[in-house]
Amino acid sequence: MATIEKATFGAGCFWGVELQFRRIKGVIDVAVGYEGGHVDHVTYQQVCTGQTGHAEVVEIDFDPQIVSYDELLEVFWSIHDPTTLNRQGPDVGTQYRSVIFYHSVTQQQAAERAKAAANTSGRFLSAIVTEISPAQTFWRAEDYHQRYLEKRGIDIACH
């Protein structure tokens, strides 16, 4: 049986981020939720206030034999603007920040290398502000947020 790993990313509106990662071969599951704050059992209504410290994130279960963490990082950089602090498109607030929550030292090192490479690549006009932090408690979002775009037949991302 394959070893399944977790990756957690925040890149703005979690609906579109979820949709992008679900399309990747080797991704087993994606859940949307909240991470990085100071309130337990947090709800969408609380996160929307910007007062809990949480980011909207996706928690990805993936098979590293099929898709590598580095490949997931490349998708992460490509689906949002990591140079805008606490904002993605029309969504503004700390809950929409660009963040990588790593689950191991290996993921931390890979994220830091990828961020440094992206910063010097010329791909972005400004410096990358993506936060890289250890994984904390993932609070799964309410059921109506899971597969939100898919359930509505929307096949485009939020960004």
8-21 per-position pLDDT tens digit: 999 999 989 999 99
Indicate if the pLDDT at residue 59 is higher than 50. yes
- At 157 the pLDDT is 56
Which residues are known to be catalytic? 13
Tokens 């791909």: give the residue.
Answer: 123
The predicted model scores a pTM of 0.94
In which band, very low, low, confident or very high, does the pLDDT at 159 lie, cut at 50, 70 and 90? very low
CA distances from 46 to 13, 36, 75, 143, 158 (A): 16, 13, 29, 16, 21
Mean pLDDT over each residue of the chain, to the nearest integer: 94
**Paired strand residues for 92:** 87
Domain at 5-151: CATH code: 3.30.1060.10
Indicate if the pLDDT at residue 148 is higher than 60. yes
Tokens representing 147 are 């597969």
